[in-house]
């Protein structure tokens, strides 16, 4: 009875805290400029299924993809077991579904156990790769501090979660075989779960019954506590991607990657020179700002991108400029965007719902012009991203800000601009000579 009350309180508090934080993230994302993405629903849905659910793009690197799949599948499938845990927790039953579901129950739990073992192996592999083998893309400067701690913490939680599952099921298996389990005794002598029916007797076989009850409870409570801890940690972690990968891939750019957006703010100014009949596309009284200086100048989709980033660094490890030792790192672009957005969100929380200018901005305080100007606009980062994030779109918006609002392009580019303006070519050639090649030998 007491445990049912404690459990219910934990359940309600855990869910409420998560909802509060999830709403904050939603609010932060909606601080972005509004754009409408309502086209091609079926193609979008398909993209989401393939890229987020099917993890299609992960498989360009098969080994980490497979290991990641183990953890992901274990995570998804374990949620089914959670139904029973919650029911048991609130009602004070133990393995309430076992009797009614029969063989299917044994199958499901066995399946979860096998995935848990695979996830355990994957977790150890990931910890090793990150901390001992020191894989380059997981050890770049932008991961120093919290991001590295974040990644290891989640892996540690996963590790513990699996330990708890096997404490719970393993101890229960031994108890059941002694007729001491709180699960309803069906007279079959074993719970019959694929892994714990072997592992349980091996580890706990010689332990006294009262001790086993304690271990079983530690496993049960540890398991559920871990799930709530995980859920509530998500909003602060890169692991938010397990939720946001779905909307983010649904809203991904379906156009050719080379097709950069045309600014209608500019069209409204330029086009009338060519077409006097032209009707402006945008409200002429609205304030115009070119490109993006701060996160609120980006669209909500770009902000969703930032919250969806897994910090995996696939983008950075394929970036020609980063590979050759330049400061630009597309992952850092995404991490900076999220960090700045969080800062803006906290500012709003502190000031009762309105943002009070803090004298900072994404461009300058987080991302430097040096990073922005290094980009080749090659789309390698966009291609690589397993959750269809577009770091290049943010880079372009920041470039537009630098050129159109701050007139601070590198001198050589200003030279290129004036050539283009005067000669219709980026070099100093006379436009009249454009056809000269025809007659040259």
Partner 1 sequence: MSDTLKVPTMAEMMANGETPEILFWVGCSGSFDDRAKKITKAIVRILNHVGIKFAVLGAEESCTGDPAKRAGNEFLFQMQAFQNISILNGYQVKKIVTGCPHCFNTLKNEYPELGGQYEVVHHTQLVQELINQGKLKVQGGEFKGKKIVYHDPCYLGRANDVYEAPREVIQKLDVALTEMKRSRANGLCCGAGGAQMFKEAEKGAKEVNVERAGEALEENPDVIAVGCPFCNTMMTDGVKHFNKEDKTKVLDVAELIATANDL
* Residues forming the site for partner 1 (CB under 8 A): 60, 255-260, 262-263, 266-267, 269-271, 273-275, 290-291, 318, 320-321, 323-328, 370, 373-380, 382-384, 396, 399-404, 409-410, 412-413, 415-417, 420-421, 424-427, 429, 431-438, 440
Closest separation in Å from C-beta 392 to ligand SF4 = 4
Cα–Cα nearest to 164, from 81, 91, 241: 81
Closest separation in Å from C-beta 317 to ligand SF4 = 9
Closest separation in Å from C-beta 350 to ligand SF4 = 28
Give the residue with the Cβ less far from partner 1, 33 or 327. 327
Candidate ranges 27-35, 182-190, 276-284, 390-398; the one touching ligand SF4 (CB under 6 A): 390-398
Distance between CA atoms of residues 42 and 333, nearest Å: 30
Is 306 among the residues that bind ligand SF4 (CB under 6 A)? no
Cα–Cα nearest to 51, from 395, 383, 391, 394: 383
Bridge partners, residue 367, by sequence = 363
Is 304 among the residues that bind ligand SF4 (CB under 6 A)? no
Tell me the backbone φ, ψ of residue 238, rounded to 5 degrees. -65, -15
Q: How many Cα atoms are found within 13 Å in the side-chain-facing hemisphere of 84?
A: 18
Bridge partners, residue 33, by sequence = 299
Q: Which of 69, 226, 309, 372 binds ligand SF4 (CB under 6 A)?
A: 309
Q: Which of 162, 224, 295, 319 binds ligand SF4 (CB under 6 A)?
A: 319
Cα–Cα nearest to 331, from 352, 346, 309, 347: 309
Per-residue exposure over 303-316, b if at least 16 CB sit within 10 Å of its own CB, e if not:
bbbbbbbbbbbbbb
Give the residue with the Cβ less far from partner 1, 178 or 261. 261
Q: Could you please report the per-residue DSSP string of 350-394?
A: HTTTS----S--IIIIIB-HHHHHT-----HHHHH-TT---HHHH
Is 235 among the residues that bind ligand SF4 (CB under 6 A)? no
When CB distances are held under 5 to 8 angstroms depending on the partner's kind, the choice from partner 1, ligand SF4, none that residue 334 binds is ligand SF4
Tell me the backbone φ, ψ of residue 323, rounded to 5 degrees. -60, -35
When CB distances are held under 5 to 8 angstroms depending on the partner's kind, the choice from partner 1, ligand SF4, none that residue 141 binds is none
Candidate ranges 173-181, 246-254, 261-269, 320-328; the one touching ligand SF4 (CB under 6 A): 320-328
Give the residue with the Cβ less far from ligand SF4, 171 or 298. 298
Give the residue with the Cβ less far from ligand SF4, 136 or 282. 136
Closest separation in Å from C-beta 141 to ligand SF4 = 14
Structure tokens at 227: 């799930």
Is the alpha carbon torsion for 194, 195, 199, 205 positive or negative?
A: negative
Footprint (CB under 6 A) of ligand SF4, residues 324-343? 328, 330-331, 334
When CB distances are held under 5 to 8 angstroms depending on the partner's kind, the choice from ligand SF4, partner 1, none that residue 331 binds is ligand SF4
Q: Which of 366, 384, 393, 397 binds ligand SF4 (CB under 6 A)?
A: 384
Residue 198 CB: number of other CB atoms within 10 A?
A: 12
Q: Could you please report the per-residue DSSP string of 125-162?
A: HHHHHHHTS--GGGS-GGGTTHHHHHHHHHHHHHHHHH
Distance between CA atoms of residues 74 and 119, nearest Å: 6
Q: Which residues bind ligand SF4 (CB under 6 A)?
A: 309-315, 319-321, 328, 330-331, 334, 375-381, 384-387, 389, 391-392, 395
């Amino acid at each position: 009875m007491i445990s049912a009350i404690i459990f219910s309180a934990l359940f309600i508090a855990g869910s409420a805290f998560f909802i509060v934080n999830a709403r904050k993230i939603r609010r932060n994302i909606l601080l972005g400029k509004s754009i409408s993405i309502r086209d091609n629903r079926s193609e979008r849905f398909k993209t989401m299924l393939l890229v987020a659910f099917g993890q299609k793009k992960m498989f360009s690197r098969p080994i980490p993809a497979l290991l990641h799949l183990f953890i992901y599948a274990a995570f998804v499938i374990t949620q089914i077991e959670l139904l029973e845990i919650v029911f048991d927790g609130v009602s004070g039953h133990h393995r309430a579904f076992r009797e009614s579901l029969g063989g299917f129950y044994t199958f499901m739990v066995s399946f979860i156990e096998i995935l848990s073992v695979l996830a355990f192996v994957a977790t150890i592999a990931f910890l090793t790769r990150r901390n001992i083998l020191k894989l380059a893309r997981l050890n770049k400067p932008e991961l120093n501090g919290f991001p590295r701690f974040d990644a290891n913490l989640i892996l540690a939680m996963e590790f513990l979660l699996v330990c708890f599952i096997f404490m719970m099921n393993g101890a229960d298996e031994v108890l059941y075989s002694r007729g001491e389990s709180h699960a309803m005794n069906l007279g079959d002598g074993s719970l019959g779960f694929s892994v714990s029916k072997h592992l349980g007797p091996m580890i706990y076989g010689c332990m006294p019954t009262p001790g086993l009850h304690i271990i079983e409870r530690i496993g049960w409570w540890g398991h559920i506590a871990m799930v709530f801890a995980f859920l509530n940690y998500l909003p602060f972690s890169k692991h938010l991607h397990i939720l946001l990968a779905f909307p983010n891939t649904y809203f991904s750019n379906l156009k050719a990657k080379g097709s950069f957006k045309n600014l209608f703010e500019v069209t409204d100014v330029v086009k009338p020179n060519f077409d006097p009949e032209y009707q402006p596309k945008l409200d002429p009284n609205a304030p115009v700002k070119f490109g993006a200086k701060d996160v609120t100048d980006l669209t909500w989709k770009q902000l969703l991108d930032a919250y969806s980033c897994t910090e995996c660094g696939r983008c950075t490890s394929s970036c020609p400029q980063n590979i050759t030792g330049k400061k630009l790192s597309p992952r850092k672009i995404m991490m900076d965007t999220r960090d700045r957005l969080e800062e803006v969100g906290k500012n709003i929380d502190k000031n009762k719902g309105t943002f009070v200018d803090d004298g900072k901005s994404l461009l300058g305080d987080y991302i430097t012009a040096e990073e922005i100007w290094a980009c080749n606009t090659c789309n390698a980062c966009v291609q690589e991203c397993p959750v269809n994030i577009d770091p290049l779109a943010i880079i372009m918006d920041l470039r537009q800000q630098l050129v159109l609002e701050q007139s601070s392009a590198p001198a050589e580019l200003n030279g290129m601009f004036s050539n283009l303006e005067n000669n219709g070519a980026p070099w100093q050639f006379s436009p009249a000579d454009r056809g000269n090649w025809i007659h040259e030998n």
